[in-house]
Amino acid sequence: MLPEILGLASRTLAADAYALWRRDDADDSWTVAAHSGLPDEYVASATAAIRGAPAAISLDEPIVAEDISAADWLSPSHREAHAAAGTRSMLVTGLRYGDRVLGTLAFYYREPRTFTEAEKGSASLLANLAAAAIGTAELYEAQRRLADDQRFVAEASELLASSLEYETTLANLATLAVPHFADWCAIDMVEQDGSIGRLAVAHVDPAKIRWAGELAEKYPPDPDAAYGVPNVVRTRRPELFPEIPEELLREAAGDTPELYELLSELGLKSSLCVPLVARDRVLGAITFVSAESGRRYSQADLATAQDLARRAATAVDNALLFREAQAARREAQESLAVVDAMFTATPIGLAFMDTDHRFVRVNQALATINGVTVEEHFGRSLREVLGDRRAAEIEPYHRQVLETGKPILDLPVQGETAAAPGEKRNWLVSYYPVRDASGNTIGIGVLISDVTEREEARAAAEAATERLRILAEASQQLASTLDYKTTLANIAQLLVPRFADWCAVDIVTDDGTFRRLAVVHKDPSKAEWGEKSKRLYSSDPNEPEGTGRVVRTGEAVLYPTITDELLEASTQNREHYEVLKQLGIESAMVVPLTASGRRLGALMLVSADADRPYTEDDLEFAKHLARRAAVAVDNARLYRAAEQRARAALVVEHVGDGVMLLDRAGVVRLWNPAAEHITGLAVADAVGQPAQELFGSWDAIASLSQLGQARPVTQAVDVSGRELWLSITGVGFQGGSVYAFRDLTSERAIETLRSDFVSTVSHELRTPLAAIYGAALTLRREDVPLGEPQRAGLLEVIASESDRLARIVNDILWVSRLESGGMHSRIEQCDGVELARSVVDTARHYVPPSITLGFSAPKRAPRVAADADKLRQVLTNLVDNAVKYSPDGGKVDVEIAVAGDWLRFSVSDEGLGVPPAEHRRIFEKFYRLDPDLTRGVGGTGLGLYISRELLERMGGRIWVESGGHGGSIFIVELPVGD
């Protein structure tokens, strides 16, 4: 239409060039829409000039520039443009349509000129005409676009309603928008995780779509961008860019100039972005962009787009809702199917009964338990299905559940199914109230689980544990005693009642018959019958069954059930039968007790309960137990043997007799500690040596074992240069010979001592006796007249020798008292000084004139703790000895001194003295320095022994030292008193 306007203009008013300028309402920008006769340079530079500074001039009247160069209302750049194009004057009329200025119609001339009113009028007229035409066309165009958009919206709505596949629908919608409404259309959705994903992009050119896709991939959009989809989704506010500003592209390109290039190349002109919001939820956004079409989106377009977005959002929401609903339904259906399948297939019996106790639904498992088909249950009552008796048992539970609204859980029930009568089953039954959605009880749910196998498994596990326990206890029992009879009896005790109601142990006696060792019954009142069975039981080893059979064959026997006939056949008489009947016998096992191949007997285990018959399993256990018992018996025997050997070795170790074992070559193989002790030969020196080399006079000993001499022989032998008196016995055996010997050396010495004593005592006794006898004979003689002095002298001899005799006898008595332990001392505080003084005073009466008695004591001396009589005896003995063993006279001094805690008595003489080597021995019993009395001084050799013994009993001590003048000093010390 615009060229036509220009043609009309040229025909109306002659000019050198014409132009139709259009003004954009939105931004008051101006462009040349059509022209003729104008150079392109002018169009460009003039457009630029106007954009830079639009003329503020009224278009109500035609604008006349008769000389452009002088028209200062034009911008200098605009005037320059004219100068360049060579236009000198112009006439411009406004194109007005209503209130709007649509543009201008301009006439240009190369020469300056003046315009007539007519020319101006014609131009105005033409302009009005053109404005009307353009306005109408525009209106028409707007109408058409509106219609187009409406059609698009309608089509889109139809599309949106056509499918619940919203992804496809939205993609189609994008395609539908192109190119009528937009050159580009993109749809982005908010994903479940909140991120934004592109669902569809549409453009007429598929190559461009690919290119845009690659672009987006290479330069992913910033999810936090302040414009575009992220912004719209975030703010829920639409975005309208009538003109996409340069800066937006720059911002979108960021630091990447290349991207800016590419975006510019797309030639994006205007854009619209609207959120997809449904039920207050942002689902995504639709973006419309114009490029090639040059369309500029207006508010009206935004409204259209929003309308479309609303519809699309609703459609998507519906689709989503539908999808969810569908998924929910599918899920519900699936779970219903699962429940149904479970209901049908579960091995747990399930039933639903209404409040009238009628079956509404049952599953196969329950039908099987009830012994009626599933169908036969429907609508029938408990009584009709199960019969009066069972129904009467169950109904109270149903009623309870209905009344209380509380379930009854895991009720243990025993019974049998119709399918397998006679087979005991264990069930756990639960009853639940079933309620409808509003909470009203509408019936009862019944749940029956069969726990028979579980119970059986539990019982089996328990039995296994019990057996292990029995085994453990049995092992302990078996190890606790070495007497196998006791052990076996204890085992029997252990098995009752856990493994048997009663149990008997029979053993084979030496003569091959059986003896009942033990009978244990779980019921103590049956003890009498057990005893009877013991007494009665002298089972015939040839009996066909029971213990006889088992011991004979060595094989265990299981009698799972013992019938009366069997019992009768296998008992010897009526009484035996009666006893067994009384004890109770329904099932039994007999297992052999075999140790080291020897049949010791048998173990009989009996179950008196017909419901608990023994099985092969039980038999295996019993056999196992019997084997263990047998092994224990064996071990006990071996142990006993080993122990006996060990004990023998122990005896040899500890026996007081020397024991020596020689091998056949006569080499010592065993040499016990006593042998070591007696001979002084260590084991290491004896063992491995020929006996001949150890003993001096071996041949005499060797002959003992050959003779098989049982009686001991006392023999002097020479062992490493020592003479020993041994009492020896010897025995030969296959592998050599054994000798036992006892040391008699000291006994021998005592023997010698004793005979010495006897001779000494005899001698001692004989001397005074001879004197007495001689004196008595002389006195009796009548042929010899005796003067009175002689007579007195003889009597004096008799008296003094009798006294000596008495003293000797007294000494011997003392010794015997000391040795028999019949001597008691009474320790008290006594004045040692006074006591010694009196001893010395007494001695003065009888000491020969050649002896000078001296006594000295400290003025004050402590008292001593001693038995005064015994101390006196000791001191008297010492003074007597000092005098006695000073045959040539001299001084005898008794001195008393305090030495620490001791009171010391010294008796010194100048007599014969005691050689230092004999200082100890003179205190021995019967020991005398001069037994042969070469110096004519007699004694028993007991005085010093008695003194030492007495002092020891009083806590004192005595020793002898050599004196200064060849004599000796006897020193006695006693503890001072308190």
- Interface ranges with ligand ADP (CB under 6 A): 881-882, 885, 909, 911-914, 922, 928-930, 939-945, 968
Report the C-alpha dihedral over residues 129, 132, 138, 139, rounded to 10 degrees: -150
Smallest distance, ligand ADP to C-beta of residue 902, A: 21
3-state SS record for 168-220? HHHHHHHHHHCCCCCCEEEEEEECCCCCEEEEEEECCCHHHHHHHHHHHHHCC
Inter-residue long-range contacts of 155-162, CB under 8 Å, 24+ positions, other chains counted: 156/308, 156/311, 156/312, 157/311, 160/311, 160/312, 160/314, 160/315, 161/315
Q: Which is nearer to ligand ADP, 544 or 966 (CB)?
A: 966
Task: Render 474-509 in DSSP notation, one character per residue.
Answer: HHHHHHH-S-HHHHHHHHHHHHTTTT-SEEEEEEE-
Q: Which is nearer to ligand ADP, 284 or 913 (CB)?
A: 913
User: 714 - beta bridge partners?
Assistant: 727
Q: Which is nearer to ligand ADP, 456 or 930 (CB)?
A: 930
Which has the closest alpha carbon to 47: 130, 104, 100, 98? 104
Are 109 and 88 within 8 A, CB to CB?
A: yes
| C-beta nearest to ligand ADP: residue | 939
Question: Which two tokens mark 779?
Answer: 């006195």
Rounded to an integer, what distance in angstroms lies between the CA atom of residue 207 and that of residue 204? 9
Smallest distance, ligand ADP to C-beta of residue 721, A: 31
Which has the closest alpha carbon to 177: 312, 282, 84? 312
CA-based end-to-end distance of the chain = 164
Rounded to an integer, what distance in angstroms lies between the CA atom of residue 563 and that of residue 356? 51
Q: Which is nearer to ligand ADP, 32 or 944 (CB)?
A: 944
Residue type (1 letter), 622: A
Nearby residues of 247 by Cβ (< 8 Å), 6 or more positions away: none
Q: Which is nearer to ligand ADP, 625 or 912 (CB)?
A: 912
Q: Which is nearer to ligand ADP, 769 or 929 (CB)?
A: 929
Q: Which is nearer to ligand ADP, 549 or 804 (CB)?
A: 804
Smallest distance, ligand ADP to C-beta of residue 889, A: 13
Work out whether strand 890-899 and strand 851-856 pair parallel, antiparallel, or are unpaired. Answer: parallel
User: 107 - beta bridge partners?
Assistant: 18, 91
User: 518 - beta bridge partners?
Assistant: 505
Smallest distance, ligand ADP to C-beta of residue 966, A: 10
- At residue 314, φ and ψ (nearest 5 deg) are -60, -45
Q: Which is nearer to ligand ADP, 320 or 769 (CB)?
A: 769
- At residue 387, φ and ψ (nearest 5 deg) are 90, 160
Q: Which is nearer to ligand ADP, 156 or 912 (CB)?
A: 912
Work out whether strand 587-595 and strand 557-559 pair parallel, antiparallel, or are unpaired. Answer: antiparallel
Are 252 and 259 within 8 A, CB to CB?
A: yes
**Side-chain-side CA neighbours of residue 905 (13 Å):** 33
Q: Which is nearer to ligand ADP, 671 or 814 (CB)?
A: 814
Smallest distance, ligand ADP to C-beta of residue 940, A: 5
Are 495 and 626 within 8 A, CB to CB?
A: no
Q: Which is nearer to ligand ADP, 440 or 934 (CB)?
A: 934
Q: Which is nearer to ligand ADP, 640 or 921 (CB)?
A: 921
Rounded to an integer, what distance in angstroms lies between the CA atom of residue 809 and that of residue 940? 10
Q: Which is nearer to ligand ADP, 183 or 909 (CB)?
A: 909
Cα Rg, the chain, nearest whole Å: 74
Smallest distance, ligand ADP to C-beta of residue 829, A: 28
Task: Render 515-561 in DSSP notation, one character per residue.
Answer: EEEEEEESSGGGHHHHHHHHHH----TT-SSHHHHHHHH---EEESS
Q: Which is nearer to ligand ADP, 656 or 966 (CB)?
A: 966
Q: Which is nearer to ligand ADP, 751 or 961 (CB)?
A: 961
Task: Render 41-81 in DSSP notation, one character per residue.
Answer: HHHHHHHHHHHHS------SS-EEESSGGG-TTS-HHHHHH
Smallest distance, ligand ADP to C-beta of residue 916, A: 12
Q: State how far Cα 37 lies from the chain centre.
A: 107
Find out whether the peptide bond into 62 is cis, omega within 30 degrees of 0. no
Which has the closest alpha carbon to 514: 534, 489, 541? 541
Are 230 and 224 within 8 A, CB to CB?
A: yes
Q: Which is nearer to ligand ADP, 241 or 945 (CB)?
A: 945
Instruction: Give all strands of the β-sheet with 184-190 in edge-to-edge order.
Output: 196-202, 184-190, 281-290, 270-278, 239-241
Smallest distance, ligand ADP to C-beta of residue 801, A: 16
Tokens 């039954």 sit on residue: 429
- At residue 840, φ and ψ (nearest 5 deg) are -65, -40
List strand residue ranges (DSSP E) for 734-880, in order. 736-743, 828-830, 851-856, 864-866
Smallest distance, ligand ADP to C-beta of residue 956, A: 17
Smallest distance, ligand ADP to C-beta of residue 943, A: 3
Smallest distance, ligand ADP to C-beta of residue 877, A: 6
Smallest distance, ligand ADP to C-beta of residue 858, A: 24
Q: Which is nearer to ligand ADP, 114 or 934 (CB)?
A: 934
Smallest distance, ligand ADP to C-beta of residue 685, A: 40
Q: Which is nearer to ligand ADP, 496 or 912 (CB)?
A: 912
Question: Which two tokens mark 432?
Answer: 């639940």
SS3 628: helix
